[in-house]
């Protein structure tokens, strides 16, 4: 294709006028704007891409069904670089756009902690996927969680290993970031409650290149079951391989990252036979199946929790704004908290007054690389 002088002039004209055209559209409030902070770059860029796709699939369906308050909804994504300073910057950019009515934050607890003070200052609802229980228990009324928090995952891991698998000598392995520390603590507390405190509590720093000392510690401890909270897939991959190489084959029940597709690809056979708690399990309900199909049609890979929570967040948020009949933050908040029996991809949403939407987990098993739904464990307290 040739680039002529006329093309150039036309391009220039469009380029110069575009801001005004877009600006006037904004002034008319033609769309309802939702902001999203997601890792476009950095260690979680891959899963960040899935998250944005999940949100977009939901948004498209919402728009097809009439949009939000009769207007089409629009998603504005800012790169959080998978870092804490990154998400603070991304959120401040989005927050500066005063016509954005609500936001999607991060699946990483440590990032949600980083942005939380700004969320409180702004006073608009932010949907999150971070599972550190503290996030909804620290007096920040604008955070709404679309995944079950770690006090549940810890209880489910302990319950499954102790009652279903019948194992009593636990090694607990966790990342030392906010997510991993909170998860490790929750699992430890649940085990203590069952009268079987962990015999090894081992932390590790993210992006480790070698896990030999950790594997040897597990081996020496004489544990007969391993519970884990890993943050990054690379770390799971390296650990899983070294665990098998050094001959440790005890049952292993892991936090959701153990079932995500990047981890499955990297670790391969080293993760066969492991169990994981999964907030999203495709076979667990009709809504989960429906999301799975929609996602496969668009993205061509199996869906996972990285994409299911933003999908649910957009759906619940759209329904809540429609029910509230207003984009006023306090009214949206009330409507989200009043959400009951909402069938989402992750499960049935029944919001409590803390802002937690889900209260249970699925247990899944890795059968030669395929994730198979095993059972759902729900808590009412």
Partner 1 sequence: MNNPQFLLPNAVMDLVLQLLFTGIGIGAVYALVALGFVLIFRATNVVNFAQGEFSMVAAYLMVVFAVDLGWPYWLSFLLSLAGMALLGAIFNLGVYYPLRHRSFLPVIIATIGASILLANSVLAIYGPQPQVLEGWFETPGIQLGPVYLDSQYLLIIAVTIVMVAFNYWFFEHTMLGKKLQATSQDKEMASLLGISVSTMIMITFIYSAVLGGLAGILVAPVLFVSIQMGSTIALKAFAATIIGGFGDVAGAIIGGLALGIIETFGAAYISVPYKDGFAFLVLVLFLVFRPQGIFGERVAEKA
Give residues in contact with partner 1 (CB under 8 A).
Answer: 41-43, 45-46, 48-49, 176, 200, 202-205, 207-210, 212-214, 216-217, 220-221, 233-234, 237-238, 245-247, 262, 265-266, 268
Q: How far is the CB of 233 from partner 1 (least distance, A)?
A: 7
In the complex with partner 1, the residue whose CB is nearer, 126 or 261, is 261
Q: How far is the CB of 56 from partner 1 (least distance, A)?
A: 17
In the complex with partner 1, the residue whose CB is nearer, 49 or 343, is 49
Q: How far is the CB of 209 from partner 1 (least distance, A)?
A: 6
SS3 191: helix
Helices (H), 34-129: 45-64, 84-95, 109-122
In the complex with partner 1, the residue whose CB is nearer, 166 or 268, is 268
In the complex with partner 1, the residue whose CB is nearer, 147 or 241, is 241
CA dist 221 and 240 (Å) reads 18
- Chain centroid to CA 83: how far? 15
Indicate the pairing of strand 31-38 with strand 100-104.
parallel
Cβ atoms of 355 and 362 within 8 Å: the answer is no
Q: How far is the CB of 208 from partner 1 (least distance, A)?
A: 7
CB half-sphere exposure, 258, CA atoms < 13 A: 31
> What tokens appear for 187 in the block?
């699992």
In the complex with partner 1, the residue whose CB is nearer, 227 or 360, is 227
Residue 210's beta-bridge partner residues? Answer: none
DSSP single-letter state for residue 100: E
Q: How far is the CB of 313 from partner 1 (least distance, A)?
A: 22
Indicate the pairing of strand 170-175 with strand 143-145.
unpaired
């Amino acid at each position: 294709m040739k680039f002529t002088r006329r093309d150039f002039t036309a391009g220039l004209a469009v380029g110069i006028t575009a801001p005004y055209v877009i600006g006037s559209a904004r002034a008319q409030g033609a769309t309802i704007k939702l902001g999203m902070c997601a890792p476009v770059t950095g260690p979680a860029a891959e899963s960040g891409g899935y998250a944005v796709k999940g949100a977009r699939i939901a948004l498209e369906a919402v728009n097809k069904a009439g949009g939000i308050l009769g207007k089409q909804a629009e998603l504005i994504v800012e790169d959080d670089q998978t870092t804490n300073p990154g998400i603070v910057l991304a959120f401040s950019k989005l927050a500066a756009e005063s016509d954005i009515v609500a936001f999607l934050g991060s699946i990483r607890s440590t990032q949600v902690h980083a942005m939380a003070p700004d969320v409180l200052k702004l006073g608009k609802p932010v949907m999150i996927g971070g599972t550190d229980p503290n996030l909804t228990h620290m007096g920040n009324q604008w955070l709404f969680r679309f995944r079950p928090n770690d006090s549940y995952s810890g209880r489910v891991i302990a319950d499954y290993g102790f009652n279903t698998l019948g194992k009593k000598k636990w090694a607990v392995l966790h990342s030392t970031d906010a997510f991993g520390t909170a998860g490790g603590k929750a699992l430890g507390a649940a085990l203590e409650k069952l009268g079987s405190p962990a015999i090894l509590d081992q932390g590790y720093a993210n992006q480790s290149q070698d896990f030999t000392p950790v594997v040897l510690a597990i081996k020496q401890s004489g544990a007969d079951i391993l519970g884990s909270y890993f943050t990054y897939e690379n770390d799971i991959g390296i650990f899983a391989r070294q665990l098998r190489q050094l001959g440790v084959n005890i049952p292993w029940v892991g936090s959701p990252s153990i079932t995500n597709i990047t981890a499955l690809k990297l670790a391969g056979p080293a993760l066969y036979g492991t169990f994981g708690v999964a907030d999203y399990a495709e076979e667990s309900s009709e809504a989960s199946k429906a999301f799975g199909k929609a996602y496969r049609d668009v993205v061509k890979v199996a869906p996972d929790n990285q994409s299911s929570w933003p999908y649910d967040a957009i759906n619940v948020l759209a329904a809540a704004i429609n029910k509230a009949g207003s984009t006023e933050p306090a009214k949206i908040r009330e409507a989200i908290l009043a959400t009951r029996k909402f069938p989402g991809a992750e499960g049935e949403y029944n919001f409590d007054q803390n802002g937690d939407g889900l209260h249970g987990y699925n247990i899944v098993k890795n059968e030669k690389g395929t994730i198979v739904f095993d059972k759902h464990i729900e808590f009412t307290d």
